[in-house]
């Protein structure tokens, strides 16, 4: 995407002072109003769709697919907008103005703003990860939320050393070579599982920790993290971590080994109580270093 830092700063300056929260998924990161939450998450890094909604219905759709730079031209971008909002939208779509000259220059992104509300505003762009992304904002009144808030904070983080994830109040950062294998997002109990060829890490967050710990002590939460085919190699030990926002949390760490002698392998599990946020943080990972690195990011702002 050809938006420069100056472009983003200019857009950010237009943002209204509304309460926002991060949303980060499959390498995309942006900020959205706190009343918006993910109601649909489909696909993988190469191709997928996320839908965010509030109590009154859909607010933002994010759709992406892999495409090479040589495939991208203005007609293709207009075709994406045409498929979403019709011929008139495709004709009226324009690049964002350059903040220095206020002129509209040829670009690898286009923006269409619906003249009538309620309606759909559409932003389409080719990003550095060689993915074409489409943002569809369901506007209920004429405002600048898409351009001034969403596009201003929208970023492709796939080339960073770690990938941020933020959904339904669960935030973390995971080494970029690990990909999302599965997710489970139940009310108050959210889980993300990441893998690569040799490693894995599972991040789980349970809400209302104080209440949960009255029913089940922390040691039992840790024991429940044991993977099938593994056995504990000793008693759990106390652990204290400093999170990336400077707060300290404590809990237990357990170590496990495969039951079958012919198959070597170890893993660790962490059970931590984030008292300030009233959350349990449960980490299961292929090695202690990975478990600690990821645990230190849970609950921190991913910006």
Would residue 84 be called left, alpha or beta, if left means φ above 0 and alpha means ψ between -120 and 50 degrees?
alpha
pLDDT by residue (tens digit) across 130-142? 999 999 999 999 8
Residue ranges of the chain with per-residue pLDDT less than 70: 1-18, 98-107, 260-264
pLDDT by residue (tens digit) across 85-119? 999 999 999 998 765 544 444 568 999 999 899 99
* pLDDT at residue number 16: 46
Q: How far is CA 10 from CA 7, 86, 244, in A?
A: 5, 29, 28
Helix residue spans in the chain (DSSP H): 5-13, 74-85, 87-92, 145, 152-153, 209-215, 218-224, 288-295
* pLDDT at residue number 7: 52
- The CATH number of 5-156 is 3.40.1000
* pLDDT at residue number 99: 57
* pLDDT at residue number 93: 96
Domain(s) of CATH 3.40.1000: residues in the chain = 5-156, 162-295
* Residues forming a β-bridge with 24: 29, 166
* pLDDT at residue number 161: 94
224-257 burial, b if ≥16 CB within 10 A, otherwise e?
A: ebeeeebeeeeebeebebebbeeeebebbbbbbb
Q: Which fold has domain 162-295?
A: Protein Transport Mog1p; Chain A (3.40.1000)
Residue 173: strand, helix, or coil: strand
* pLDDT at residue number 18: 60
Q: Please tell me the distance from the alpha carbon of residue 24 to that of residue 175, in angstroms, as a whole number.
A: 14
């Amino acid at each position: 995407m050809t938006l420069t830092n100056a472009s983003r700063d200019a857009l950010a300056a237009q943002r209204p002072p509304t309460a926002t929260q991060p949303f980060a998924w499959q390498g995309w990161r942006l900020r959205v109003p706190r009343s918006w939450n993910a109601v649909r998450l489909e696909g993988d890094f190469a191709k997928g769709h996320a839908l965010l909604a509030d109590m009154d219905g859909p607010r933002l759709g994010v759709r992406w697919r892999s495409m090479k730079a040589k495939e991208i031209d203005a007609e293709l971008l207009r075709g994406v907008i045409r498929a979403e909002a019709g011929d008139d939208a495709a004709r009226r779509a324009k690049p964002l103005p350059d903040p220095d000259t206020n002129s509209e220059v040829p670009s690898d992104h286009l923006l269409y703003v619906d003249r009538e509300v309620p309606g759909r505003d559409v932003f389409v762009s080719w990003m550095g990860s060689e993915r074409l992304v489409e943002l569809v904002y369901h506007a209920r009144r004429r405002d600048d939320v898409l351009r001034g808030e969403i596009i201003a904070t929208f970023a492709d983080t796939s080339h960073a050393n770690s990938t941020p994830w933020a959904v339904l109040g669960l935030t973390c950062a995971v080494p970029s070579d690990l990909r999302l294998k599965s997710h489970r997002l139940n009310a108050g109990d959210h889980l993300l599982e990441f893998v690569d060829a040799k490693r894995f890490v599972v991040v789980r967050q349970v809400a209302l920790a104080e209440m949960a710990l009255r029913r089940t002590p922390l040691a039992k939460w840790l024991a429940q993290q044991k993977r099938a085919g593994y056995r504990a190699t000793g008693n759990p030990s106390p652990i204290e971590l400093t999170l990336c926002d400077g707060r300290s949390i404590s809990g237990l760490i357990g170590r496990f080994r495969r039951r079958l002698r012919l198959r070597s392998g170890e893993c660790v599990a962490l059970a931590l109580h984030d008292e300030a946020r009233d959350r349990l943080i449960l980490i299961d990972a292929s090695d202690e270093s990975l478990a600690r690195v990821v645990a230190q990011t849970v609950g921190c702002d991913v910006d």
